[in-house]
Amino acid sequence: MMKVLAMVLLGFGLTAGAVMASVEDQIRSRIEPVGTVCVDGEDCGDIVTAAAPAAASSGPRSGEEVYSAVCQSCHANGVAGAPIVGDKDAWSARVDQGLETLVSHAINGINAMPAKGGCASCPDEEIANAVEHMVEQVQ
């Protein structure tokens, strides 16, 4: 009886070991790296390297570009009370405050408008360009 029990336990142990090896292989395949890094100048073997991405433009975007990318989402439709671009009545009192005040409001936020219209990565100069672009549409 002891021999039979020992054989059964040995059989279970071998089976469990094979199952664990299979699970470990599955885990290794799920966490293996999906790529490699090859630094310019190193021998990369058969890894195909691509050219570096083109450098970003050296200057700030135009007011129209910033307006189209950021401001248009609210100022084209009057979202949350935003003055619609081209609506002279909506802009007249704002324009009377002066361009410097409008730029300050755009950079720092006012009422429902977040600072920089929500474009935290936009430089102040680009925001000023966008404000100037919108003011030009009503003058």
Please tell me the chain's helix, strand, coil percentages from 3-state DSSP, rounded to the nearest 5: 60, 0, 40
Instruction: Decide: residue 117, CB within 10 A, 0-12 exposed, 13-18 middle, 19+ buried.
Output: buried
pLDDT exceeds cutoff 60 at 80: yes
Lowest mean pLDDT among 10-19, 36-45, 92-101: 10-19
Query: pLDDT (tens digit, 9 = 90+) per residue, 16-72?
Result: 656 666 778 888 888 888 777 777 777 777 666 555 555 556 788 898 999 898 888
The CA-based angle 54-58-61, given to 5 degrees, is 105
- What is the length of the chain? 139
CB atoms within 10 A of CB 102: 19
Over residues 54-63, the pLDDT tens digits come to 555 678 889 8
Residue 52 makes CB contacts below 8 A (sequence gap 6+) with 40
pLDDT at 58: 72
Nearest partner of 131 among 100, 108, 89, judged by Cα? 100
- Claim: this prediction has a pTM higher than 0.85: no
Write the DSSP assignment of 51-85 as a string of letters. PPPPPPPSSPPPHHHHIIIIIHHHHTTTGGGPPPT
Homologous superfamily in CATH for domain 63-136: Cytochrome c-like domain (1.10.760.10)
Give the SS3 label for residue 33.
Answer: coil
- pLDDT tens profile 105-132: 999 999 988 999 888 899 999 999 999 9
- Enumerate the domain spans of the chain: 63-136
